[in-house]
Structure 1
Amino acid sequence: MAGRGRWDDDDDEDLNGDEDFRGSFREGLERTLDLKTWAEGLDLQAIMQRYRDEIGGAMLKEDKLRTIIRQELLPRLQTRPNAPEGAGLYRMSPEQLADIHSGLLFAGQVEAVNGISVTHETLPLDITQLGIAAIGYGGTAGTFSQRLFRREVTVDAPDPYQEALAYIEQRQNRSHPGQRGPDSLSRLARRGIRAYAERAILVEKLKAPWRMGQGNPLAHELVTGSGYAGLLDASLGMLKRLMNDHPRFIFVSAKMEDRGFLTMGHALEAGEFVILESMKQAGKLILDGWQYDVEELKKARAFVDMYSHKVVKGLFRASNNAPPQVFYAHIDHAHMAACVAIADSVLRPERGFPMLLDVAEATCRSAFGEDGFKGLVQDAYAQADARLQYFNGRKPSR
């Protein structure tokens, strides 16, 4: 196993104390906890009025901020310190849009990869199914799947009593929230394997000159190896191939990350994009924030030094009725990559996100989604134990 780093759970946000709570929610935590401030029953009229007031005030503030950003900030992107080559604000012309639709997208010259993962957890066994689809407008280029079966490490105890105690303690340790144990490593590994597989399929299985993926191509899980030496070595080798052999790539983030940049993105008009920065500083932050061992740090640092400055981050907006999107591309092809992303996103202006990625995800859900997966698992449990005593675990509400 590689050097262990910080535990990062997708479901948790950083909490910085009472003052951070007050700044975020405009009231003290003590007031929120005071039951006298809680409404009794369901007063829909009062609830809707509060929603209208809060949403209206937030939108008014955002509109003022948008005007300032568009007038004062966007024109200075090209000349700001450490701006990458090609930084600045650009607009895609209708002629470019038509050329990309006819010459690239609908001609099958762009293919996309996207995936899903579903997990079923029980006391004796966790089962994770990873499904990935490769899609072009000429049809499905392929679907791929993997299944992971997670068991506790076999306990080697001198007698049955000690063995039972060891299993109980091991499983209890998995249950402690906020503790970096086997369960958190399992989640990190699942995310890392899925991120690796999506990019590896993009590199090895696709044939189109332009290739599209979701997220950050130099994902944190890959540059760290997610705590696993084997994943680190495989990831760095695969990412080198992506950078060297297939630089015509475009990755689009589906998460609401980089909220500061997205604030800037709302100042864009439909068909505009900006090139913001290279991934050089982000790569350095990964190296500084993860606890590698000596040999793995050397490998990761060599990769980051060679390639992070060649990937740039930007924003595009396909429709005024949809939010902006964060994208990543090779610095040598970033402008065309942004145009490809906009052209594909225009096909669904209400969403403003590349349709190829959505179609790939829908294909995955059809073939490898939760309903079919749980049906197969339930059938297997029924044959192993007709009482389904382990299968019918209750999911807590969030």
Structure 2
Amino acid sequence: MSMDEGDAPDDGDGDGPEAERGFIRDGDFRSGFGQELSAVLDMVSWEAGHDFKRLFAEFKTQVSQSVNKEESLRSIIRKQLFHQIKSAKLAPDGAGVFPADLSWLDTIREQLLYQGLVEAVNSTVVSHDSLPISVTQIGVAIVSYNATTGVFSQRLFRKEMAAQVDGLAEAIAFIQKRQARSGAGRRDELSTLARRGIRTYAERAILLERATAEWRMGYGNPFAPELLSGSGYTSLLTVSLGLLRNLLEKHPKFVFVSDSLHDIGLLTLGNALNVGEYLILDTVEADSLRIVDRWDYENRGQNEARQFVRECGPLVLRGLFRASDNAPPYLFYAHREHVHLAAHVALADSILRSERGFPMLLDVAEVACRGAFGAEGFMGLMHDAYTHAGAKFHYLRAHKRRR
């Protein structure tokens, strides 16, 4: 099972696989940058040294013009577009913009959050990839404002050579195998499965099976692309769809929030929200179907995924909220039966830090993961292991790309 092009996104914002790429035309470049490519590539036009006074004036002018245009667009969205969202073709019942009830926010903080009745799950992953071995460590934490409920970890040791290579022919075959895995334009699907697919599944499984609070909070899109595709692994697809069904049936009081919003259209809508407002936009059905349709599944995988999305996609609503003037809007996902209370739970926790405007519990869970399973401790163990194995330290050198 493989994807048509590229890798599924890691942002969890529900955008699905990256859009198909095409060539940029002269008009596209001219429209985006306001000048011709030929002028940019003419080295005579490049400045020598720095004229900071002139640079500051240019930056000030360009930024001011762009901000003013964005504020004008924001005004039009608020006055003319928001009221049309309720009647949009794919809009679910109850779609639209809502101001948070301040009394609800206070009650949620005092009676849910601070009483430990909301538990959040987040994770971290660290990995080491060398010629002899690749190691991936996944750590997941459950936290509430009462305590850290639990931390869980799993390590995957990938050893390509199951036995000693015997002879030149086997050595050449093994080199070709590695080259096929890591050649230009290819992705290492087993590494992607370990770092993202299993990690994403583990977050939701622990949220479902190990959390005990009335409300559950997770990161990203509950119907993550890694799960709807199985990350290229049919067995993971099967258990993922079953897990998500159980989450919807057994614990519908959940809210998932993503802090990585790359859909500029959604970001534009969210930017038009006032502080303390939330927008219920649509269900995850249409977006999830686009993800499913982009993958080439084995056997009956695509039919199973599509049937799941058709049945369960309408139960999960997607929206945006804004907790602070100093922070961007964030995407949230909730069961349609509890979507308004879920939005208030996310807002009540996000308002606690106005500079971030993101649920603090999710950040606390991430910190707990990094404290228990961070890169420093992990690499310390790897160094010790190589030392005891009598290996050269060149295996620890990371392969870095130019940025």
TM-score between the two structures when normalised by the length of structure 1: 0.92
Corresponding residue for residue 2 of structure 2: 4
- What secondary structure is seen at the aligned counterpart in 2 of 1:339? helix
CA distance in 2, matches of 1:14, 1:236: 26
1:379 paired residue among 356, 368, 384: 384
Q: Does 1:101 align with 2:106?
A: no
SS of residue paired to 1:169: helix
Do 1:155 and 1:167's aligned partners in 2 also have CA atoms closer than 8 Å? no
Partner residue in 2 for 1:195: 200
Q: Deviation of residue 25 (structure 1)?
A: 3.5
Distance 1:279 1:381, change over 3 A: same
The aligned residue for residue 330 of structure 1 is 335
Question: How far did 1:89 drift?
Answer: 0.9
- Structure 1 residues 140, 267: closer, same or farther in 2, change over 3 A? same
Specify the alignment match of 2:134 in structure 1. 126
Taking a change above 3 Å as real, the CA distance of residues 262 and 138 of structure 1, as seen in their structure-2 partners, is same
Where does the alignment leave 5 or more consecutive residues of structure 1 unmatched? none
Displacement of 1:130: 0.8
1:149, distance to aligned residue in structure 2 (A): 1.8
| Matching residue of 1:266 | 271
* Structure-2 change in CA distance of 1:285 and 1:394 (3 Å): closer
Q: Which amino acid aligns with 1:166?
A: A
Distance 1:15 1:52, change over 3 A: farther
CA contact (8 A) 1:189 1:226 kept: no
Map 1:223-302 to 2 at 5 A.
Answer: 223-302=228-307
Cα RMSD, aligned residues only? 2.2
Change (3 A) 1:97 1:324: same
Shift of 1:171: 2.4
Compute the displacement of 1:270 (Å).
Answer: 0.9
Query: In structure 2, how many angstroms separate the alpha carbons of the residues matched to 1:9 and 1:47?
Result: 39
Q: How far has the Cα of 1:137 moved from its partner?
A: 0.4
Report if the CA contact (8 A) 1:276-1:314 is conserved: yes
> Is the 1:133–1:144 Cα contact (8 Å) retained in structure 2?
yes
Question: Would you say 1:77 and 2:75 are equivalent positions?
Answer: no
Residue 285 of structure 1 deviates from its aligned partner by: 1.0
Q: Quick check: 1:68 aligned with 2:54? A: no
- Quote the residue 2:393 is aligned against: 388
The whole-number CA distance in structure 1 between the counterparts of 2:79 and 2:322 is: 17
Moved more, 18-27 or 8-17: 8-17
Match of 2:331, SS? strand
Cα deviation, residue 235, structure 1: 0.5
Deviations 1:334-364 (A, max 9, x none): 1110000000000001111000001111111
Task: Say if 1:381 and 1:265 are closer, same or farther in 2 by CA, change over 3 A.
Answer: same
> How much does 1:365 deviate?
1.2
CA distance in 2, matches of 1:46, 1:204: 60
Gaps of 5+ in 2: 11-17
- Give the letter aligned to residue 308 of structure 1: G
Moved more, 161-170 or 44-53: 44-53
2:13 counterpart residue number: none
After superposition, the C-alpha distances for 1:287-343 in whole angstroms (9 at most, x for unaligned) are 211111232123212211210011111010111221111111111111110000000
* Structure 1 counterpart SS, 2:275: coil
| 1:89 counterpart (91, 94, 97) | 97
1:81 Cα offset (Å): 1.9
Following superposition, the deviation at residue 386 of structure 1 comes to 5.1
SS in structure 2 of the partner of residue 81 of structure 1: coil
Offset of residue 375 of structure 1: 1.3
- What is the match of residue 368 of structure 2? 363
**Partner-residue secondary structure (3-state), 1:124:** coil
Q: Deviations over 1:200-220 (max 9, x none)?
A: 000000001110001000011
Q: TM-score of the superposition, structure 2-length normalised?
A: 0.91
User: Do the aligned partners of residues 21 and 231 (structure 1) sit closer, same or farther apart at CA in structure 2, a change above 3 Å counting?
Assistant: farther
Between Structure 1 and Structure 2, how many residues are aligned? 393
**Amino acid of the structure 1 residue aligned with 2:185:** G
1:395 positional shift: 2.3
2:175 aligned partner: 168
Task: Give the secondary structure class of the aligned counterpart of 1:276.
Answer: strand
1:179 partnered with 2:178: no
On the 8 A contact 1:111/1:208 being kept in 2, the answer is yes
Match of 2:122 among 110, 114, 117: 114
Report the CA distance between 1:10 and its aligned residue.
4.7
Which stretch shows the higher mean deviation, 78-87 or 147-156? 147-156
Are 2:189 and 2:232, in contact at CA under 8 Å, matched by a contact in 1? no
Post-superposition shift, 1:394? 4.6
1:138 deviates by: 0.5
Mapped partners of 2:8, 2:41: distance in 1: 26
Q: Distance in 1 between matches of 2:233 and 2:376?
A: 31
- Alignment partners' CA distance in 2, 1:340 and 1:228: 35
Cα distance between partner residues in 2 of 1:221 and 1:26: 38
Q: Is the 8 A contact 1:85 1:331 kept in 2?
A: no
CA 1:31–1:177 in structure 2 vs 1: closer, same or farther (change >3 Å)? Answer: farther
Q: 1:208 aligns with which of 203, 213, 220?
A: 213
Q: Answer whether contact 2:9 2:225 (CA < 8 A) is retained.
A: no
Given that residues 18 and 28 in structure 1 are in contact (C-alpha distance below 8 angstroms), is that contact kept between their aligned partners in structure 2?
Answer: no
Flag the 1:21–1:154 CA change in 2: closer, same or farther, 3 A.
farther
Question: Paired residue for 1:218?
Answer: 223
Distance 1:385 1:352, change over 3 A: same
Question: Is residue 17 of structure 1 aligned with residue 15 of structure 2?
Answer: no
| CA–CA distance in structure 2, aligned partners of residues 9 and 287 of structure 1 | 11
* CA distance 1:293–1:173, shift in 2 (3 Å): closer
Structure 1, 144-153 or 300-309: larger mean CA deviation: 144-153
Counterparts in 2 of 1:393 and 1:191: CA distance versus 1, 3 Å: closer
Matched-pair identity in % = 47
